[in-house]
Structure 1
Amino acid sequence: MERALNKRFSEAVTFFRGLWLPERATPVGYAALIDAYDLQVPWPRKLRAVSERHRVYSEHGWEILTPRHRPPATFEGHLAFALKHEGLDLAVLKRLFQAVGPQPIAEWIRAKPTGSYTRRAWFLYEWLLGERLPLNDAKRGNYVLVVNPAIQWAGEGVASKRHRVRNNLPGTPSFCPLVFRTEALKAMVDLDLSARAREVLGEVPKDILSRTASFLLLKDSRSSYAIEGERPPQDRIQRWARVIGEAGRHPVDAEELLRLQAIVIGDARFVTLGLRKEDGFVGGREHSSLRPLPEHISARPEDLPDLVSGMTAFDQEAAGQLDPVIAAAVLAFDFVYAHPFEDGNGRIHRYLIHHVLAERGFNPPGLVFPVSAVMLEEIDRYRQVLEDYSRRLLPVIEWRPTAGGNVEVLSASADFYRFFDATPHAEFLYHCVYRTIERDLPEEAQFLRRYDAFCQRIEQIVDMPDATLDLLFRFLQQNAGQLSKRARTKEFAQLTDPEVAAVEKIYLDLFEA
């Protein structure tokens, strides 16, 4: 068995488990371990392989390394390589530990009791599986971090004396997605967008600021419904806007999520409120047979209580140790992947973004960043981000269709919702926040300044009620600064030709210049 594995670890290939390599090379690290032990897990977003050329480059989801990076062709060699170079993929590690059992890990630790990678593997085995290896506590070796903060965002760290490591995982065994420290994310964090938002708002008069905040709140609520393909009445949009405006005031727990679902659904006659009792999926159905055509399969109902409990613990503990936007992405996108409710998951997913940002004081008091509006404008990119994980998750979930057109999940899948790579989600959310601060906030404040100036100048020409004045503005806005024939003969028939000309010039001076 060991000889066969060692041979498999050493094979150079051009085609690997359905994936083309940029050149002939030997898969290493997680790729080699997943293949050798036939682990049914979502592939990591980037795989590594070693070629015979002395050039390091990345292409088509592979990082091709040089011969000097080649690890020993053993289980221990590839695991140490993964921990050193690839960061932590907790879903892969848990399935790997379950596949190999305790003996290889224990033997490796006994052989290298002070090794940093052996002690990290030891801790991760016991943390992920909840099983104690037959080993005495470590007595020697400097304390090492479980998560390498140069590779992935991590928490503050708590000492584990047994393993002589500092557990800086940003979560619990029930919920711990991870985010890689990419150049894009580091650049965004360095911008200090929270301070930038306060700088932008510091230039806005208080009366304008109050109205800007109200407009952006409604904009986010309306956009969140539009993303779901819904056009609810104004009162529902305003009701959800009030809920978003209160984000961050209540901890996220099962009771709070149920409250939010009830508000989102409103009329629950045709929806069962609460955690799902059946399996679920996102996608379509064949017209003739109603056979499911899943694009994403949700967590199993029996796994939801523990997943929600893990999210609650993350919100109340680990989220406070991460960058606020990264923490918001982790919580919100994992929620929508788990899809704990029959309906309302999408809007609550976006609410959770506001919740974390407000709870951490990232956005100025009383102001909501309308990230849903950016998501709606960039809906294709938003969907691509959502599909980044779903596309890799779907092939490893075993399921069968039910007579009612649903899916029945046959394989254990809870770990795939506890642990996933949330890097593209964090990058996208940071992009949305950046857009709202650098574009939406100043543009809306500037619009209100111009609108006020428009109203003041119109009042110097003709007196009219505020509602009529606003209607006049809307007609001009809809017709590129000119009153339509209908408006001039009906709603504003009492305006003289010189007054119409003056009104149109005021609008063009302020909004079309």
Structure 2
Amino acid sequence: MKPVGYSYLDKHYKLILPKLGVEVYYDENAETEAVTNYGASSRKIIPKTRSYKDCPYEQMIEAIKYQGIRLHFFAAIFKNVDTTELSAFIKNKPNSKYNRVLWFLFEWLTGTKLDVPDLKAGNYINLFEEKYYYTLLNGTRDKRTRIINNAIGTKAFCPTVRKTSKILELGQTDVYETAWAKMQHVGDALSADIIGRSINYLYSKETKSSTEIEKESPSRQKMQRFLKAIKNAGYFQLTKEKLIDLQNQIVEDKFKASDYRKNEIYVGSVIKHFNFADEDVHYIGPKAKHVDSMMKGLLDTHDNLMIDNNIPPLIHATIISFGEVYIHPMDDGNGRIHRYLIHDVMKQREPEHNFIIPISASILKNQQKYDKTLDSISKPLMAMLDWELDSDNDNKVIINNDIDYMYRYPDFTEHVCFVYEMMETAISTELIEEICLLVTFDSAKKLLNQNADIPNIILDKIISMLISNGGSCSKAKRGYVLKHISVELLDDLESTTTTLIDDIKNRFQIDISKMMNKK
């Protein structure tokens, strides 16, 4: 079998780029097109009825036809291409759709003009096919190639999200509307007061969860600063200055930044052996010299998506938040900024919603899925990176090759699926659970308060005891409770609380007692 498209180009230009999920091969013995398993990936087999052209420029077109535009491949290829040959190839059929796409891609990604005269006529065509990719509704027209650049990003940073069947279905979901609809299922007991108290608790939980993901134990002051930042998400223009100000709010004083990082950075952990410790490096950020341009590209991408207003808000939030965490622009605080950005973008796109969906709490409970999602980009990238730690200089990382295109042009398709899943989990568990707990607590407390004249702090304590024990009062605590209320009232209270707990369990599959015990 002979490699086709990106597999061919990888071999021809000796790129050693990570293979795609589906590789394409030509089999002169195959009668029909087919997809076969190839270990953890797949191979698309092209039959003998199709022609095979042993030419890198023809194979660039085959790559686009069969596997779409993979910007990181083309960025690497164009560093090695013979521009005279490429110009001659395009000149041969300058009006061809794929030649024009190839022509535009080269000049856009390299900033170098090919020896090809401008087109004087012909319809404009989109760079990315809207059927397969999320794109800008109103792209920029390039008169020279008559291509509409509808990419969501810029040359400096341009992620892609493919329109898989799963994502097309997810993209129809408005997570805020879903959350609001589920809240209404609670019934007449749902009130503005309960929603407000739930939101206040969830803001605090989101703050705590976000720091726990980083395996940190921050000071109370630091937690309060991050809580304030989360509550104010969406109220400010997303700029470099805002990101630096945010970083200053959420890190210790000694780590406060005045600019993006100027040094190489890595994420790792220490593995302790019997008589020495070793550094396990999980991820290395792009070279510091590229951070400014990548972050400008990220913020320009955000502006593109805000103005265009075509891509679903949660996909927009995924692109910007994960873009930041892979660029890793700060020496400290990148993870918390990453999760803050999800809320910030969602609030900017849908400012009418005044409640939070605590995604960090869901991520914390699904840490392995989160790590796997991050690994979808970090592992191939790390396999390509030539690096070492300088043991004589505080284990600073040294990067020996420059693969900036792997950071500039990520595919966030898998990340979008993950964020939608975490949002759905946050709605179904964290948000609804907290509301159901408050409804149960308030209903039981109302009964007690109407029939007993005791201090509020004791009321709360008695109700908490009952809920945590499934609605009944334990023998150990019965004596304490009967000091304040009658046996008859306790019986009524137990009956009411048990009924409330059972109703919530039947309607929402939520165990209120377990929740109370975790408080």
| The 10-residue stretch of structure 1 (141-150 or 455-464) with the greater mean CA deviation from structure 2 | 455-464
| The 10-residue stretch of structure 1 (347-356 or 238-247) with the greater mean CA deviation from structure 2 | 238-247
Q: 1:78 aligns with which of 53, 59, 62?
A: 59
Deviation digits for residues 188-235 of structure 1, max 9, x if unmatched? 112344443454456753333322332332222221122122344555
Contact 1:277 1:301 in 2 (8 A): yes
| The 10-residue stretch of structure 1 (48-57 or 494-503) with the greater mean CA deviation from structure 2 | 494-503
| The 10-residue stretch of structure 1 (154-163 or 51-60) with the greater mean CA deviation from structure 2 | 51-60
Shift in CA distance, 486/186, structure 1 to aligned 2, threshold 3 Å:
same
Q: CA deviation at 1:165?
A: 0.8
Shift in CA distance, 306/407, structure 1 to aligned 2, threshold 3 Å:
same
Contact 1:225 1:231 in 2 (8 A): yes
Shift in CA distance, 285/237, structure 1 to aligned 2, threshold 3 Å:
closer
Shift in CA distance, 469/494, structure 1 to aligned 2, threshold 3 Å:
closer
Q: 1:43 aligns with which of 9, 15, 19?
A: 19
* Inter-partner Cα distance in structure 2 for 1:239 and 1:491: 39
Amino acid at match of 2:212: A
- Secondary structure of the equivalent of 2:79? helix
Q: 1:351 aligns with which of 340, 364, 367?
A: 340
The answer for unaligned runs of 5 or more in structure 1 is 1-11, 13-25
- Secondary structure of the equivalent of 1:216? helix
Instruction: Quote the residue 2:41 is aligned against.
Output: 61
Q: CA deviation at 1:379?
A: 1.4
Q: 2:136 aligns with which of 155, 159, 163?
A: 155
* Inter-partner Cα distance in structure 2 for 1:90 and 1:208: 48
Amino acid at match of 1:276: R
Shift in CA distance, 497/232, structure 1 to aligned 2, threshold 3 Å:
farther
Residues 1:457 and 2:442 are matched in the alignment: no
* Inter-partner Cα distance in structure 1 for 2:368 and 2:283: 16
Contact 2:140 2:148 in 1 (8 A): yes
Contact 2:264 2:286 in 1 (8 A): yes
* Inter-partner Cα distance in structure 1 for 2:111 and 2:264: 27
Q: 2:89 aligns with which of 77, 99, 108?
A: 108
Instruction: Quote the residue 1:315 is aligned against.
Output: 302
Contact 2:119 2:143 in 1 (8 A): yes
Instruction: Quote the residue 1:181 is aligned against.
Output: 163
Q: 1:388 aligns with which of 371, 376, 379?
A: 376
Q: CA deviation at 1:426?
A: 0.6
* Inter-partner Cα distance in structure 1 for 2:461 and 2:8: 66
| The 10-residue stretch of structure 1 (352-361 or 440-449) with the greater mean CA deviation from structure 2 | 440-449
The answer for unaligned runs of 5 or more in structure 2 is 504-519
Residues 1:426 and 2:402 are matched in the alignment: no
Residues 1:209 and 2:195 are matched in the alignment: yes
- Secondary structure of the equivalent of 1:296? strand
Shift in CA distance, 434/487, structure 1 to aligned 2, threshold 3 Å:
same
- Secondary structure of the equivalent of 2:451? coil
Instruction: Quote the residue 2:515 is aligned against.
Output: none
Deviation digits for residues 224-251 of structure 1, max 9, x if unmatched? 1221223445554444233112212222
Q: CA deviation at 1:469?
A: 2.6
* Inter-partner Cα distance in structure 2 for 1:350 and 1:178: 20
Residues 1:99 and 2:80 are matched in the alignment: yes
Instruction: Quote the residue 1:324 is aligned against.
Output: 313
- Secondary structure of the equivalent of 1:190? coil
Amino acid at match of 1:186: L
Instruction: Quote the residue 2:323 is aligned against.
Output: 334
Instruction: Quote the residue 2:517 is aligned against.
Output: none
Shift in CA distance, 69/385, structure 1 to aligned 2, threshold 3 Å:
farther
Q: 1:227 aligns with which of 213, 235, 244?
A: 213
Q: 1:282 aligns with which of 258, 267, 290?
A: 267
Shift in CA distance, 270/221, structure 1 to aligned 2, threshold 3 Å:
closer
Contact 1:488 1:495 in 2 (8 A): no
* Inter-partner Cα distance in structure 1 for 2:416 and 2:345: 13
Instruction: Quote the residue 1:170 is aligned against.
Output: 152
Contact 1:481 1:507 in 2 (8 A): yes
Deviation digits for residues 8-32 of structure 1, max 9, x if unmatched? xxxx2xxxxxxxxxxxxx3321122
Instruction: Quote the residue 1:367 is aligned against.
Output: 355
* Inter-partner Cα distance in structure 1 for 2:255 and 2:411: 35
Q: Pairwise mapping of residues 24-43 of structure 1 onto structure 2 (< 5 A)?
A: 26-43=2-19
Q: 1:191 aligns with which of 161, 173, 188?
A: 173
Amino acid at match of 2:226: W
Q: 2:116 aligns with which of 135, 139, 143?
A: 135
Instruction: Quote the residue 1:481 is aligned against.
Output: 471
Shift in CA distance, 106/465, structure 1 to aligned 2, threshold 3 Å:
farther
- Secondary structure of the equivalent of 2:24? strand
* Inter-partner Cα distance in structure 1 for 2:178 and 2:424: 10
- Secondary structure of the equivalent of 1:340? coil
- Secondary structure of the equivalent of 2:382? helix
| The 10-residue stretch of structure 1 (386-395 or 245-254) with the greater mean CA deviation from structure 2 | 245-254
**C-alpha RMSD of matched pairs (Å):** 2.5
Shift in CA distance, 46/332, structure 1 to aligned 2, threshold 3 Å:
farther
| The 10-residue stretch of structure 1 (341-350 or 453-462) with the greater mean CA deviation from structure 2 | 453-462
Name the % identity. Answer: 27
Contact 1:487 1:493 in 2 (8 A): no
Q: CA deviation at 1:104?
A: 2.7
* Inter-partner Cα distance in structure 2 for 1:96 and 1:493: 80
| The 10-residue stretch of structure 1 (471-480 or 327-336) with the greater mean CA deviation from structure 2 | 471-480
Contact 2:285 2:327 in 1 (8 A): yes
Instruction: Quote the residue 2:516 is aligned against.
Output: none
Alignment TM-score, normalising by the size of structure 1: 0.87
Shift in CA distance, 69/298, structure 1 to aligned 2, threshold 3 Å:
farther
Q: CA deviation at 1:97?
A: 0.9
Shift in CA distance, 462/172, structure 1 to aligned 2, threshold 3 Å:
same
Residues 1:292 and 2:262 are matched in the alignment: no
Instruction: Quote the residue 1:435 is aligned against.
Output: 425
